[in-house]
Amino acid sequence: QFIQCDNCDMWYHYGCVGIEPGDPRPEPWAVFICPTLRKRDDTCMRPDCPQPTEENTDVYFVERLVGRQKTGDASFWWLAKWDGYPMTQSTWITEANVVGDGTRLFETFQADAIKEGIDLSQDIALLSEAVAAGWESHG
């Protein structure tokens, strides 16, 4: 079976665009925009196309830093706990990738580590909540 893009009028096999039984996209009332146009621009230019309700900006915010590991060049990898995500989805980032008020984040990490009795002269320092979530060294 085929489905036609409501924007560019090209035809696509159901299987090629991931349409499975029960998918509402082939219904006469539904608007189908092909993957090529979706990849280029997530908005449809037709006036009757439904507009997206949530914008994906791919911007993530560091809630706090929960670990650090020395690199060979006197800098650190930082374990970032992302705002709105569980500790298990934290990631190691470079200092350059800490945007916003990095100084406050670094100082807060250091204060929290000292409060927990963590030796900051070690190559790796992880706050207790990072260790509890299963985090170890980067790489």
Of residues 112 and 93, more confidently modeled: 112
Residue 109 has pLDDT above 60, yes or no: yes
For domain 62-132, the CATH class is mainly beta
Angular region, 2: left φ>0, alpha ψ -120 to 50, beta rest: beta
Interatomic CA distance for residues 59 and 42, integer angstroms: 17
The fold of the 2-40 domain, in CATH, is Herpes Virus-1 (3.30.40)
Mean pLDDT of 48-68: 68
Instruction: Tell me the three state secondary structure of residue 47.
Output: coil
- Residue 102: pLDDT band with limits 50, 70, 90: confident
Mean pLDDT of 97-119: 87
Per the prediction, the chain carries an average pLDDT of 79
More confident position, 69 or 26: 69
Tell me which amino acid residue 118 is. I
Query: What band does 129 get if pLDDT is binned at 50, 70 and 90?
Result: very high
Predicted local distance difference test score (pLDDT) of residue 119: 94
- Please report which helix (H) or strand (E) contains residue 66, including its range: strand 62-70
Q: Residue 139: exposed, middle, or buried by beta-carbon count in 10 A (0-12, 13-18, 19+)?
A: exposed
pLDDT band for 115, please (50, 70, 90 cuts): very high
Residue 21 is encoded by which pair of tokens? 């039984």
Q: Please state, for a pLDDT cut of 70, what percent of the chain lies above it.
A: 78
Q: 134's torsion region: left (phi>0), alpha (psi -120 to 50) or beta? A: left
Domains of the chain, residue spans: 2-40, 62-132
